[in-house]
Structure 1
């Protein structure tokens, strides 16, 4: 029997298959990031107790973003790892893990991209628009970036699953997210939330074809 190579289902020599999304590395990175947040907060609480620091914040929280101060820009690097107390940290951790895991299912690249965008832009907007003399801390800017990324990415990826998940997240987080962007809210960094949301939207708008996986 003659073999017709055109009907062969075997691998074509020299052909390569597109790699799937790197989900496990993305999840490991996400959980490691959150774990580091908890380690930093534990160190901050220990220092607060040892130094007898009064008030709400620990001594490390002074290294957050200081609006309109030249040295305050460096706080952008530390901002997501600094929290006022355990409750503040827990709330942000839940948002990061839930929403971040959804993004991580699409692989490492989308997770890193939206994290860096929302982190950097959230910190920069905090520095530009925040009140002079205040200190902005917390990972909520990244959480807001995740929220808006997941909500709108379906419009850019045109994947049915992304659209459905985005609608669910919009229903669950929608009103709370909008309230978090209001300057009328006391005790929150609406500037960081706004910048993080912009970062998430930009990351979604810049989706590459290889990022558009379920």
Structure 2
């Protein structure tokens, strides 16, 4: 007897492998805390490795920015949304999560490098957090998924005020990272919807 593998569900709202999702996102969250602990204990001035806009020496900060935070308060404010949103983005599987996160990471980092204030140093995982948030908010529109739209409404009700962070305000806050992270999330949601339609056509 032969069986046909189940088609992927583009309207999923929870990871197909919750244990794997929890381990991956939990490990990354723990890594953020360990890096901040090292930075404080040495002190290592790791924050200086963040993005320095339009400086070649700060270009590699695109890689390091999400791992670095300007103190415990900064890290604590990012921890819960990082863990929750990162877990929910895993609904499309580990491979899709990596592609979505990479798109947001790159878009946020390049946007900060191009538009940030000269001489400033940008650190923090909030660009990825904003990207994940926008990905989760708009994916249901692209996928025409009622379940995903319900999740989006719940996220808006709980964390909707964070979206004001894409606007210029406190000079100590990288609104550029938030804005370009959010744009990266929308781009990632569109790319996922295109990929899902192509899979559906081939099926």
TM-score, normalising length: structure 2: 0.86
Equivalent residue, structure 2, for 1:52: none
Q: Which residue, 55, 59, 62 being the options, matches 2:45? A: 59
2:161 corresponds to: 175
Q: What's the offset of the Cα at 1:28? A: 1.8
SS at match of 2:60: helix
Q: Deviations over 1:22-65 (max 9, x none)?
A: 443333221111111111111000112xxxxxxxxx61100000
CA deviations over 1:87-111 (Å, ceiling 9, x no partner): 1111111111111112223321232
1:44 aligned partner: 39
Counterpart for residue 4 of structure 1: none
Q: Does 1:198 align with 2:193?
A: no
**1:209 aligned residue:** 196
C-alpha displacement at 1:172, in angstroms? 2.3
Secondary structure (helix, strand or coil) at the match of 1:136 reads coil
> Deviation of residue 186 (structure 1)?
2.8
Residue 18 (structure 1) aligned with residue 6 (structure 2): yes
CA RMSD of aligned residues (A): 2.0
Residue 12 of structure 2: aligned partner = none
Question: Of 57, 71, 84, which aligns to 1:85?
Answer: 71
Q: Is the 8 A contact 1:67 1:130 kept in 2?
A: yes
Match of 2:147 among 140, 156, 161: 161
Shift of 1:160: 1.5
- Distance in structure 2 (CA, Å) of the matches to 1:170 and 1:110: 23
Give the corresponding residue for 1:121.
107
CA–CA distance in 2 between the matches of 1:196 and 1:32?
A: 22
User: Max radius of gyration: which structure?
Assistant: 1
The aligned length equals: 190
Q: Per the alignment, do residues 46 and 19 of structure 1 end up closer, same or farther by CA in structure 2, a change over 3 Å counting?
A: farther
Distance 1:141 1:173 in 2: 15
Aligned residue in 2 for 1:75? 61
- Deviation track 1:102-139 (CA, whole Å, cap 9, x = no partner) reads 22233212321221111111111111000111100000
Q: Higher mean Cα deviation, 129-138 or 29-38?
A: 29-38
Q: Paired residue for 1:35, among 30, 33, 50?
A: 30
Moved more, 182-191 or 72-81: 182-191
What is the alpha-carbon distance in structure 1 between the residues aligned to residue 66 and residue 181 of structure 2? 11
Task: Identify unmatched segments of 5+ residues in structure 1.
Answer: 1-10, 49-57
